Structure 1
């Protein structure tokens, strides 16, 4: 089997180069997550969201301060190649849509879409009309509610109410389970904790579980700490101290 060699003319336009790389035919601006660009042809520059000339664009379309440092704007004309850790990469089109996706899996989106911070930690919501690029650990499957989904297998959901957390009795037992329940995140198996979807809409699942990276998990926790009062902070401090003591044994 011969491996194809691409150039700026033979690369596809707004399509996959292979299952793991997507080529954006850039003519204007796209929001892109840092570290997801692997190569480009043409005259393209990358600007932080804090750049003065981007104030109007960011104010109109980017509404997630918790993740602002993870994103940049690619602007210019050329071919922009996106990939993510060898995961499957696909594009999705929204038309007056409302779709929530795992923050770490969202690679890029057109400015026609507005990005907002989801009420569910670790997820972002895209609203409007346009295209976005997302990565998944294996092929994506689309299912309808009612369904309960393993948190690590959940990629996102579209046009349906946000899910509820479902915990079994074993998950709720113990101090560590108590800390997890405060934030709605954790590294347990899907047999102990699931996202429960009801109503109309579509749920997106990836084909395997993947562990959240430490930076993303810490950012989600930091975003929730501001909601705790003095009693909650003291309780969390106690849980962390016990966990540190356990890890050092």
Structure 2
């Protein structure tokens, strides 16, 4: 149905007034946070809120010198903001699809550009790749999240999960790789001969190689990462 009366449109697209979990999908591309305390979110992801909520940009030494140093090395372009207070907070990122994970002691590594929000009690750290860190324009980095609580990530279109099995490496395009299980340690590999054979540009000669046992989440889209503007 593409034609609505005003009342029909409001009725069909209005927010859910029920009390929900801390993280809920208001739509498949909008995250609702039922805030009563604090939450960390990607800077600039707030699209609306109700209630009494204050926003603070992540301060330079908010999480210690170590993380600040790693941010500088990785060229991180996704500063965080803290939302504090009581109310409903709506988050989104460029129309990307939102997926919510509830961690129960597990760890999840997420491409920094695809991390939307996470609960305050989740432990997190910026991880550096062992080989060829920062080889891509803008710097590629990931955030490891561990503990108990909710994490929201974003993908362009529907995500696909690839299973990594012992003895069978899985190779992915770094620009299409969204997240992976925390027990995996990816490395960068290169194959210059692939430059003219696959993909639309030279970046496809750089791949991420996953080995061990776990999973990798990819998206049907090659995302271009911007250099940090901090």
Q: TM-score normalised by the shorter chain: which range applies?
A: 0.7 to 0.9
User: 1:205 maps to which residue?
Assistant: 218
Shift of residue 86, structure 1, vs aligned partner: 0.9
Shift of residue 59, structure 1, vs aligned partner: 4.7
CA distance in 2 between counterparts of 1:59 and 1:208 reads 32
Shift of residue 139, structure 1, vs aligned partner: 1.2
**Secondary structure at 2:174 match in 1:** coil
Q: Give ranges in structure 1 of 5+ residues lacking alignment.
A: 173-186, 220-249
Q: 1:165 aligns with which of 188, 193, 218?
A: 188
Matched-pair contact (CA < 8 Å) for 1:113–1:130: yes
CA distance in 1 between counterparts of 2:213 and 2:45 reads 33
Shift of residue 159, structure 1, vs aligned partner: 3.0
Matched-pair contact (CA < 8 Å) for 1:147–1:198: yes
Matched-pair contact (CA < 8 Å) for 1:158–1:202: yes
Q: 1:139 aligns with which of 155, 158, 162?
A: 158
Q: 1:102 aligns with which of 99, 105, 111?
A: 111
CA distance in 2 between counterparts of 1:96 and 1:21 reads 26
Shift of residue 49, structure 1, vs aligned partner: 3.1
Q: 2:17 aligns with which of 5, 9, 27?
A: 9
User: 1:64 maps to which residue?
Assistant: 67
CA 1:115/1:63 → structure 2, altered by over 3 Å: closer, same or farther? farther
Matched-pair contact (CA < 8 Å) for 1:39–1:82: yes
Q: Structure 2 length as normaliser, TM-score?
A: 0.75
**Are residues 1:123 and 2:142 paired?**
yes
Give the aligned length.
196
Matched-pair contact (CA < 8 Å) for 1:159–1:202: no
Greater fraction helix: 1
User: 1:149 maps to which residue?
Assistant: 172
Q: How do 1:209-228 residues align onto structure 2 when only pairs under 5 Å count?
A: 209-212=222-225, 214-216=226-228
Shift of residue 87, structure 1, vs aligned partner: 1.0
**Secondary structure at 1:215 match in 2:** coil
Matched-pair contact (CA < 8 Å) for 2:15–2:26: no
CA distance in 1 between counterparts of 2:38 and 2:219 reads 28
Shift of residue 8, structure 1, vs aligned partner: 7.0
Q: Relative contact order: is structure 1 or structure 2 higher (C-alpha 8 Å, sep ≥ 6)? A: 2
User: 1:111 maps to which residue?
Assistant: 120
Q: Give ranges in structure 2 of 5+ residues lacking alignment.
A: 2-7, 130-139, 196-200
User: 2:40 maps to which residue?
Assistant: 31
**Are residues 1:42 and 2:61 paired?**
no
Larger radius of gyration: 1
**Secondary structure at 1:104 match in 2:** helix
Q: Structure 1 length as normaliser, TM-score?
A: 0.70
Q: Alpha carbon RMSD of aligned pairs, Å?
A: 2.8
User: 1:88 maps to which residue?
Assistant: 97
